[in-house]
Amino acid sequence: MSHWRDQVVFVSGGSAGLGLAIARAFARAGARLAIAARDPMRLEQAAGALSNIAADVLAVRADITDPSQVDRLMQQVFERYDRLDVLVNCAGRSARGMAHTTSPESYRELWELNFLAAVRCTQAALPRLLSARGHVVNIGSLSAKIASRYLGAYPASKFALAAWSQQLRLELGPEGLHVLLVCPGPLTRTDAGPRYKADPLELPPSASRPGGGVRIKTIDPDWLAQRIVAACEKRRPELIVPAKARLLFALAQLAPTLGDRILRAMT
């Protein structure tokens, strides 16, 4: 029998992209699902597709930057399943811009979605997760560990998520909560370039590419989702893809000038 058989997994941002891939991977492992997203059409399509492989799927339209909607969302999950084993904080978005010209309002907007929404969902789910000795999966980025050019407010929002993930591990790990921080490079997607056409014209054309133009291979979401499920089963603290990025992280901490030089050369 699968490790995840009949366990309940909630995925924010579960209607598309990596969130949908993660939901699909847990469904194939036998889990019951709850997904949330803002777009009702994409949410309905995702729920229909997941129903073909999952024993049970709950789809809830919600804006997780709104505290009242987070409370309502979690109430619906608990009323349906009366438990929660895995919370995947996947909803989020990237950005493009220069750090020094990005407006404080843009920083606040990304902070709300990429960081505070994860805090709200986790705090609302914690009683059930702790009773299940469950899992919190925070989807960060390579930008949660090291900043690069042309990503505007994005790295600042993901750095916060990485720090908070470590705090949760230190505080609640002894009580049985598993916290996994996932730091992937850019994902393979069909709309990678067009997504940023409206961003500042001060940027070079390469900035619209995945990762802000950093020369790195994109990652297949379904492959990464399988790695995330396995990392949860092993209760690993971090999953960094590609793994060799750890060397750059360490180098940037030990020798910041050299780290900056390498990052400029890679972009």
Q: Which residues are catalytic, by number?
A: 154
| Strand runs labelled E in the chain | 8-12, 32-37, 57-61, 86-89, 135-139, 178-184, 238-241
Q: How many CB atoms lie within 10 A of CB 130?
A: 13
Q: How far apart are CA 253 and CA 31, in angstroms?
A: 39
Answer whether 213's CB lies under 8 Å from 207's CB. yes
* Token output for 215: 């020369």
Q: Pick from 87, 158, 133, 142: which is nearest to 267 by CA? A: 142
Answer whether 133's CB lies under 8 Å from 176's CB. yes
The three-state (H, E, C) secondary structure of 107-127, written as one string: HHHHHHHHHHHHHHHHHHHHH
Q: How far apart are CA 103 and CA 81, in angstroms?
A: 42
CA atoms within 13 A on the CB side of 162: 20
Q: How far apart are CA 170 and CA 156, in angstroms?
A: 22
Longest dimension (CA), the chain: 55
Answer whether 182's CB lies under 8 Å from 140's CB. yes
Kind and range of the H or E element at 80? Answer: helix 67-81
